[in-house]
Amino acid sequence: MKARPTTFFAALFALLLAGTSGCNSTPLRMEERAMIPVSRAEKKTIERRAAALRQVLSPLKVRGAGVSLSAYAHHQFPAPVIMDLIKKMGFNRIYCSISSESELSEDLEQLLTSAASAGIPVELMIRQGDFKHRFRGNALVRCFLPQFRQLPELAEDIADFNDSLPANAKLAGVTVRFEPHLFTHTNGAAEIPGLHYLWSSTTFGKGLDNDKLVELSMEQLKKMKKKLGKLPLSIELPDFYPIWVREGKLTSGSVKDLAAIGSVMIQCSGNLPSQLVSRSRDAMKEGKNMLAVIPVASHTSVHSGALRRRDWNDLVRALGYFVNSSRKTNCSGVVIRPLSELGYMLLEQD
């Protein structure tokens, strides 16, 4: 996909404007938000904001940005523009989320090729919640979306796709968000015939449902790692799992347990800057050279485990506080997502 002969900021405006068309036919998640604000900031303000974020992130070795492939593919974002935006804000690594094996496609290859030209490594990001399973007895069986493959089979598809890529545009790794807590009544899991295990606030304890869901999810990750071959596997672990293990609610699910399978990244679930630090501090101490995943909430939302913010300056202050505090532990980098939300905030008028 060729870049248009425009300046970075003009291209960025076009990039975000593209998100306002076609949304009725393809509903997007909030993490795929792609639109320009009604009142846009001046160019000098945008430049100052980008510089402030670069400075805050500069002490960290890894500075990752979360990108959604479905948004990129649907709106036909020029990949070189995405790379420019990422570099302007100081990021040096991309975590590209896909929701099925069908997204191992030409669009992804174009993104990887453009990233390689910009010198930016790319990891795939897989949500366990997009690959839900049910349990018949002690065996994992694919449900909900039976046309999709199980995680170990998906790993085979990823490995084959990676082998087909040019030598200079290979994947840097695969990251899986650890989410056994999604198997609840709320998502309809209780209606599945033969379901033996179900997550709830009343099934904590050795050998109970929650414990079995964590154990079986870890088995899936072990199989997935084997299928990936030489591709490194990372696991995005929500910060509340190590807490549950320390409290005795779970027998497995700590940083140490997951580190025996692959590299561990801690997903920070705090809404406020102080919560980002306090909730992840102990988990960070359990590992080495760990990455912190910081989801950014849409405006001041308090309904999800994501960082609230009022504006760009508030976001930068919060990230600066986290970086300065977490460097005293084992944090060597951050992954901030979604890039589309950051792009919106970058352009938003004060």
DSSP string, 331-350: EEEEEEE-HHHHHHHHHB--
Residue 28 zone, left/alpha/beta (φ > 0; ψ -120 to 50; rest): beta
- Bridge partners of 139, per DSSP, are 136
Task: Please name each of the domains of the chain with its CATH number.
Answer: 8-347 (3.20.20.70)
Question: Residues near 232 by Cβ (< 8 Å), separated by ≥ 6?
Answer: 172, 173, 174, 262, 263
Q: What are phi and psi of 253, to 5 degrees?
A: 120, 10
Cα separation, 255 vs 237, in Å, equals 8
H-type helices in the chain, by residue range?
8-17, 43-57, 69-75, 79-88, 106-117, 151-164, 209-228, 240-246, 255-259, 273-285, 312-326, 339-347
- Would you give per-residue pLDDT tens digits along the chain (350 residues)? 444 434 544 555 554 444 433 333 323 333 445 445 667 789 999 999 999 999 999 999 999 999 988 876 655 667 888 898 899 999 999 999 998 888 999 989 999 999 999 999 999 999 887 765 444 433 344 443 444 467 888 899 999 999 999 999 999 999 999 998 887 766 555 554 445 677 888 999 999 989 988 998 899 899 999 999 999 999 999 999 999 999 999 999 999 999 999 999 999 988 888 888 888 888 888 888 899 999 998 766 666 788 888 889 999 999 999 999 887 777 889 999 988 888 888 888 87
